[in-house]
Chain A
């Protein structure tokens, strides 16, 4: 069971096929590495689940590095209604065998015989931030001097 509980609405958005999901990982040199992760979803324990297809992919290597060296990863979520969220996470487990692995294996096999499946990554969410413009604008700009281009407050010429 994950220690941090994602709200039911977020869990639902993560499990929807029309949501866009990405994972931001850290490469060895510290540079960001971002992948689209349509398979990212939430399990019954509240953990994020990411099935990685390829054993030797950069994404898999970065995830291994993350679980080995306690490095953070970030999942980003763009809902169909335009709202967006960042979920700060850490990998909890690399599932490479057993019933959970075999469940996803069979699922993939039924969809496409030429599938690949390396690892089912179970990922603990640690916190979440909404990154929709309306929300983050209020959060970041309140109490600050406005960044406002003058043309936007200029008296409009008549005629």
Chain B
């Protein structure tokens, strides 16, 4: 196959990719391209954003919206239920545009109307406060059906400058601490109270997601991070009548003993540890901290260990799709990057670990912020490839699907 031969000369446009891949729904191709290129809003579209109804404020680990400046929609929802986590992209060069035309909010590209969109809706808890006085929207960031909680806002791989090169977590935290007094550590009681309030809204939420930066510690690797998650999960778990509750932990690659401890001491249902780059050499370059502690092969081994604890279909790993082509040490061609990534994903799948991807956005605050993501076609082929591997190995990915997460084009394909 040499599907990238055309795109190596001139990347295919959205319309061309839709025509070339009729087996991939246009909704998902559009989602990928909106994430790749970014999105802005016309004044007419912004007047449709209602602070009483729509999510215009969020404080997440990677970005904040609406802290002080003008309010813009957090993210978008397509007609088929597909989410587009659009995020702020003030420097996007050729973004899609959301407009309000003939009574409909629509995604447009150079004036052409492509699809209807909706803004994410605000949950009932959003404007309430915890008993400690903290605005609940600063405690939890809701997706359409998931409550996201970040117990710790920094990644200590950045302590000696060895954070992942695509990641802005340290720069973002430092900026938000200075500008908006963002705390490093979330009080577990605030998390408990916010989840308690959130689940009073019938039919709104399906799961709780926890993630934070890696905490390496001075003794046993990740011991403190594990303790923070256990404390937070235990507090959140007080809200539920069942021993386990629908939940996902996106965390560092914990040792077998650490995983056992989390599983035994909390109600956590699923575990994700993002390996980020599925090639040892590229991983070592792009994620220099993780390359040393605990190392690529150990990260993979720990993922497989987790399947023995949480079960098949309850463990996966995320990659930053496309970052393996970064310059100068990434794969020279998109074809090479795709082949290597899918080979490694298949190795993990054969051992019960799913791989899901997010679209790499060279984001402000990251080392790679001036780089360029690969072609739209690359991302479509990556989504197809990961979905095909899961189907071949009979691996379900309900734990990270279009409504539980909504940020993985490959799991969007798993709906049918």
A101 part of interface (Cβ distance < 8 Å): yes
Contact across chains for A102 and B416 when beta carbons are under 8 A apart: no
Task: Identify the closest chain A residue to B413 (Cβ).
Answer: A68
Contact across chains for A64 and B80 when beta carbons are under 8 A apart: yes
Chain B 197-208, CB within 8 Å of chain A: the 1/0 string? 000011110000
Chain B 2-29, CB within 8 Å of chain A: the 1/0 string? 0000000000000000000010011100
Contact across chains for A94 and B203 when beta carbons are under 8 A apart: no
A119 part of interface (Cβ distance < 8 Å): yes
Contact across chains for A117 and B145 when beta carbons are under 8 A apart: no
Known: A94-B79, A97-B144. A64 touches B416 (CB 8 A): yes
Identify the interface centre among A67, A68, A93, A119: most chain B CB within 10 Å of its CB.
Answer: A68
CA distance A105 to B145 in the complex (A): 14
A82 part of interface (Cβ distance < 8 Å): no
A88 part of interface (Cβ distance < 8 Å): no
CA distance A144 to B245 in the complex (A): 66
Residues of A within 8 A of B203 (CB): 97, 101-102, 105-106, 109, 117
Known: A105-B202, A109-B202. A96 touches B403 (CB 8 A): yes
Task: Identify the closest chain B residue to A1 (Cβ).
Answer: B103
Contact across chains for A92 and B204 when beta carbons are under 8 A apart: no
Query: What are 11 sample pairs from A and B whose C-beta atoms fall under 8 A apart?
Result: A61-B416, A64-B80, A65-B416, A67-B80, A68-B80, A96-B81, A97-B121, A97-B204, A98-B118, A102-B202, A119-B81
B178 part of interface (Cβ distance < 8 Å): no
B243 part of interface (Cβ distance < 8 Å): no
Identify the interface centre among A28, A69, A119: most chain B CB within 10 Å of its CB.
Answer: A69
A residues engaging B (CB < 8 A)? 28, 61, 64-65, 67-69, 92-99, 101-102, 105-106, 109, 117, 119
Question: From residue B101, how far is it (CB to closest CB) to chain A in Å?
Answer: 15
CA distance A105 to B204 in the complex (A): 9
Residues of B within 8 A of A68 (CB): 25-27, 80, 416
Extra 5 A-B pairs, beta carbons < 8 Å, given A97-B77, A97-B203, A97-B403:
A28-B416, A61-B415, A64-B416, A94-B79, A106-B203
Known: A97-B144, A102-B204, A109-B202. A64 touches B121 (CB 8 A): no
Task: Identify the closest chain B residue to A67 (Cβ).
Answer: B80
Residues of B within 8 A of A93 (CB): 79-80
Residues of A within 8 A of B415 (CB): 61, 64
Contact of B144 among A61, A69, A96, A106 (CB under 8 A): A96
